[in-house]
Amino acid sequence: MKAMWKGQVLAESDDIVTVEGNAYFPAASINERYFEDSDTTSVCPWKGTASYKSITVDGETNKDAAWYYSDPKEAASEIAGRYAFWKGVEVSA
């Protein structure tokens, strides 16, 4: 699978875990040059606390467009350290 925004490949991998309709990519598959840390977090009752990263391509930033669980609850342990996308990022096979 591939995650793309503004014509750039943000992540690409065959090792995808799907949870609640979201494709979670391994951390090693992301193209780190497009990502920057964000202070944003959110809490899911069964997955735990998500952290976010903003994506910048060609000077345009998509704030908090990627999220990950660095230390998820046991029920979501399979997505530890994996990244998922939203806010216009296209994920396709």
In b/e form, how buried is each residue of 73-82, taking b as 16+ CB within 10 angstroms? eeebeebeeb
pTM attached to this predicted model: 0.96
The pLDDT, as a whole number, for residue 57 is 98
Residue 55's nearest CA partner among 12, 9, 91, 21 is: 9
**Other Cβ atoms closer than 10 A to 36:** 12
Domains of the chain by range and CATH? Answer: 2-92 (2.170.150.40)
The pLDDT, as a whole number, for residue 86 is 98
- Please give the average per-residue pLDDT across 60-87, as a whole number: 98
What pLDDT, in 10s, does the model give residues 5-64?
999 999 999 999 999 999 999 999 999 999 999 999 999 999 999 999 999 999 999 999
CB contact at 8 A, 35 and 54: yes
The pLDDT, as a whole number, for residue 91 is 98
Residue 53's nearest CA partner among 84, 29, 23, 77 is: 84
What pLDDT, in 10s, does the model give residues 51-64?
999 999 999 999 99
The pLDDT, as a whole number, for residue 74 is 97
User: How many angstroms separate the CA atoms of 14 and 85, rounded?
Assistant: 16
The pLDDT, as a whole number, for residue 55 is 98
